[in-house]
Structure 1
Amino acid sequence: MKKGAVPVLFEWNSYSLPATRPSVWDRTERPNTPDLPDDEEPVMEVDCHDHDYCYTTEPAAVDLALGETEELRSKLSKLRREMEEMAISCKFGLERFASSDDDIRFYTRFASYAHLMSFWSQIESAVHAIVRVTRARAVTKADDVRQAVNPTSLQPIDEFFLFMTYLSLGLLQKDLAHRLGIHQSTVSRIINTWANFLYNVLGAVGIWLDEKTIREKMPEVFHQYPDTYVILDCTELRCQTPDSLLLQSEVFSSYKSHSTFKGLIGIAPHRPVMFVSPLYEGSISDREILKQSGLISLLNPSMAIMVDKGFLVEDIVPCRVHIPAFLKKKTQLSGPEVRKTQSIARLRVHVERIIRRVKEHKLFSTVIPLSLTGSINQLFAVACILVNYQNGPLVKAWATKS
């Protein structure tokens, strides 16, 4: 639009135009600068210094800086050690309790850390060939085609410690999962894996001793029964009552008034466990469990077994049987019978002490859930054989001879 094409002068603005508004540049205040001629340029003053190659730092300043650096390094090393110690103290594992034999005894039932590591050194070479439960299932499903299975986040010795803690304290698997920061199903697989592994490894060791070894290590307290080869006794483990009435009648023990699993344990006269039977239903008799356990085939006429009154087995074993005297139809026992009963009882007490050591594994002092039925035989056998490695002699006087 051309300038002046629109009327801007009216009566209401007195026929005049408003003053022009100054621009932003004009309204901004600026410091006064001297006017320079057009041909002269401003000179900028720059403070420039050349590097002095002859300058050296004061020795005291260097020593002070080095001292501060060393102090910071020592503090850093100290903090790192404290962090490592804190990480170890917060981690539930063997490394945390290695310095305390009392804790090792509490969590694993081994007498000391040295005992535990001595046992570990004997089985460590076979750990690389361990067959995990998940791998076994994968092989079964894939027609014997081996499939790779991701290992757990724990080291083998920590898995072994987990298994021993479960066996010794009877902790719930969920509790162990929280302590170790892994999933509950992983704990279950580790327990089953190590139960099978130790069952096979320890089972491959011949615990049934020959007659020569038994004779050489026979304690003097057995001088009245020098032909004793094995001392036998049964033990019962309380278990969860099944829903089936038929199963209830089979596992119910009239002696314990509870559903139980029943097993047979045999020890040599000088203490070591040398026979462990599978577990049977609680209603089975001592005589029947001896017949089914396979022990009879290991005996010969030159041996003798020492048993309690419940073992009426003279007619089924090919050897002598040392058993307490029965009252039968007599009003009281004769003097020789009383002395015989007392002497046998004093010697038989050692197998009961071994059974007590087995049941110091708290898993067997609680009610065993039926979910463990598939692995309870392995767990029981491993606990019995581990008694040979975990503890010292029952009688200290036998230590030098054993």
Structure 2
Amino acid sequence: MVHTCVVAGCRNRRTPGTTLSFYRFPRDPERKQRWIAAVNREGWVPNEGSRLCSTHFISGKQVKNPRSPDYVPSVFTSAPLSPNIQEAAAFEPYDKQEAHVEAANALLYLQGQGRLDEDLSHLRCRPGPERTKSSVNSDDEEKEDEDDGGGGGDDDEDESVSESENVCKGDKALGNSTVKSLNYEACLNALRKENMELRESLEKMSLSEVAFRNDPEKVQFYTGLPNYFVLETVMWLLVPHMKSEKNAKLSKFQQLLLTLMRLRLDLKNQDLAYRFGVKVATVTRTVHRIISIMFTTLVPTAVFWPSRTELRKNLPAAVRQTHPDCAVILDCFTVSLEKAVSVDANRQSPTETAEVVRHLSRPTSVSELKYVIGVAPQGVVMFVSRGSPGNVSDKTLVESCGLLCKLLPGDVVLAERDFDIGDLVGARKAELKITNDHSKMFKNDQNPREEASLISEERMNVYRHVGRVVQMVKKRYSMLTGPVESPFTVIDRSSNVTTFDKIVQVACALNNLCISAVPLE
């Protein structure tokens, strides 16, 4: 009789030459019920001809020890086909012939059954250790449950093994099964440990919240932020403004992480698409959307001009000794463009204000953007202008960016180089001081070296203060080093600001959330 595995989706059958074994369902009611539950066919009940192939056991065969994982079949995810099996339709012409061959083999075996019983009858009378009826039945059941694995014989072949032979081999089989059970348990524990280690390794390599929660070095490398707490705080601030999209492949955390990786490492959109398993268009939309949300939500919170009281209350010692009325330290930095932009005074460019355009005498090609940055003496960015053409003078840029409106009478503005804005600052009843103007310092001195020795180390720190802040922002967020890609220079109609202008301010806001890189104490 041809046996076919009863598991849904498994097409294994006993054919000539097969290496598979086929097992009938146990007689023990409890174990039989567990087998039926494992097969998981709703409303199905096995009959005398129902068989289960050996591919559904971990070791490739059933085991009688209740502590063994193969006491009940457990492999059902993808039952492999026998290597000798072909399509079911190919066997249809041979089914009848195979049935005749197997029936003939069964008759030949039954003809020798009587002689076999007579030859083994004397073994039943041999004295031996007493065995309980339950143990004998268990051995009988093991032989009856397991069909032959070589493809020959029939159901009766399993039942033909005599009781006396089971008695003789019982102790040995029990010992072997105990050893095998221990080996299976050790193997199973090793596999579980390996599985757990692989899961932990996969979590560490993944770009998920769990992978970042307890790994500050990973947070710093991918986001520039000092730890997960700061990253989580930024996330809480942005989540109410992030829309939930149906069937979104990226979680809100991954959208923020993708954007920060774009700023931090200046990774290309194609690279990010591979890392997060999404399309390039999804990366582009995500970056622009999250940058806009951070510009309207995070920047006003982190980049602002503090009151005079707050500035002077926390003034670093070095600045307090040299410039106690210092309100802001100014500097400029430029970023190159990937593609030059033509600027015409009659048509406003997306990367500049009308006030700046008015000062351009003729159409020109712009290859870089210039920004004015204002840093508090404490080392945080408190003002960033919009991008302007790199050939615009510092005076024109400062006059048009809105920084002068924030100055109060009596404020001192420090600059490391000559901005030529003394008259503009003076109009606000404030004072501009160029910290490294050595020509004025040594004007009436006969020995410049002697005068230079009077410059304290604290003042030298002030000279380098802004430069170090600007360099730290650029180092922390590589995207600010340029070149700026053309899509980021297009103006956003909703805010009348280019995306790269938003990026500069967002990078400064994120930098302010970190510990100051230039303490002056």
> Under a length normalisation based on structure 1, what TM-score does the superposition of the two structures give?
0.68
| Larger RCO (CA within 8 A; separation ≥ 6) | 1
Q: Specify whether residues 356 and 243 from structure 1 end up closer, same or farther in structure 2 by C-alpha distance, changes over 3 A only.
A: closer
Contact 1:165 1:171 in 2 (8 A): yes
Q: Secondary structure at the match of 2:512?
A: helix
Match of 2:246 in 1: 150
Match of 1:122 in 2: 233
Comparing 99-108 and 336-345, the one that deviates more: 336-345
Match of 1:281 in 2: 389
Answer 1 or 2: which has greater helix percent: 2
Residues 1:372 and 2:460 aligned together: no
Contact 1:91 1:180 in 2 (8 A): no
Deviation at 1:125, TM superposition (A): 2.5
Contact 1:130 1:197 in 2 (8 A): yes
Q: Secondary structure at the match of 2:340?
A: coil
What percentage of residue pairs aligned between the two structures are identical? Answer: 21
Residues 1:219 and 2:316 aligned together: yes
Q: Secondary structure at the match of 2:287?
A: helix
Residues 1:108 and 2:232 aligned together: no
Q: Secondary structure at the match of 1:239?
A: strand
Cα displacement string for residues 151-203 of structure 1 (whole angstroms, at most 9, x for unaligned residues):
63223222222212111111111111112211101111111122112212222
Unaligned 5+ segments in structure 2 are: 1-103, 105-112, 118-131, 139-170, 490-497
Contact 2:414 2:435 in 1 (8 A): no
Deviation at 1:67, TM superposition (A): 3.5
Contact 1:261 1:282 in 2 (8 A): yes
RMSD, aligned CA = 4.1
How do residues 251-266 of structure 1 correspond to structure 2 at under 5 angstroms? Answer: 259-266=367-374
Q: Secondary structure at the match of 2:371?
A: strand
Cα displacement string for residues 206-241 of structure 1 (whole angstroms, at most 9, x for unaligned residues):
632222221122122121211001111111111133
Deviation at 1:55, TM superposition (A): 6.3
Q: Secondary structure at the match of 1:83?
A: helix
Count of residues in Structure 1 that have an aligned counterpart in Structure 2: 330
Residues 1:170 and 2:266 aligned together: yes
Residues 1:388 and 2:512 aligned together: yes
Deviation at 1:102, TM superposition (A): 4.8
Q: 1:209 aligns with which of 290, 306, 311?
A: 306
Q: Specify whether residues 340 and 310 from structure 1 end up closer, same or farther in structure 2 by C-alpha distance, changes over 3 A only.
A: farther
Q: Distance in 2 between matches of 1:70 and 1:350?
A: 65
Q: 1:333 aligns with which of 427, 439, 443?
A: 443
Match of 2:418 in 1: 309
Q: Specify whether residues 97 and 126 from structure 1 end up closer, same or farther in structure 2 by C-alpha distance, changes over 3 A only.
A: closer
Q: Specify whether residues 52 and 239 from structure 1 end up closer, same or farther in structure 2 by C-alpha distance, changes over 3 A only.
A: same
Q: Specify whether residues 149 and 104 from structure 1 end up closer, same or farther in structure 2 by C-alpha distance, changes over 3 A only.
A: closer
> Under a length normalisation based on structure 2, what TM-score does the superposition of the two structures give?
0.54
Q: Distance in 1 between matches of 2:210 and 2:245?
A: 26
Match of 1:242 in 2: 340
Q: Distance in 2 between matches of 1:350 and 1:217?
A: 16
Question: Structure 2: which amino acid aligns with 1:376?
Answer: F
How do residues 1-12 of structure 1 correspond to structure 2 at under 5 angstroms? Answer: none
**Larger C-alpha radius of gyration, 1 or 2?**
1
Comparing 66-75 and 301-310, the one that deviates more: 66-75
Q: Specify whether residues 288 and 193 from structure 1 end up closer, same or farther in structure 2 by C-alpha distance, changes over 3 A only.
A: same
Q: Distance in 2 between matches of 1:276 and 1:126?
A: 22
Unaligned 5+ segments in structure 1 are: 1-30, 32-43, 133-147
Q: Specify whether residues 366 and 297 from structure 1 end up closer, same or farther in structure 2 by C-alpha distance, changes over 3 A only.
A: closer
Deviation at 1:321, TM superposition (A): 1.6
Q: Secondary structure at the match of 1:205?
A: helix
Residues 1:183 and 2:264 aligned together: no
Contact 1:238 1:258 in 2 (8 A): no
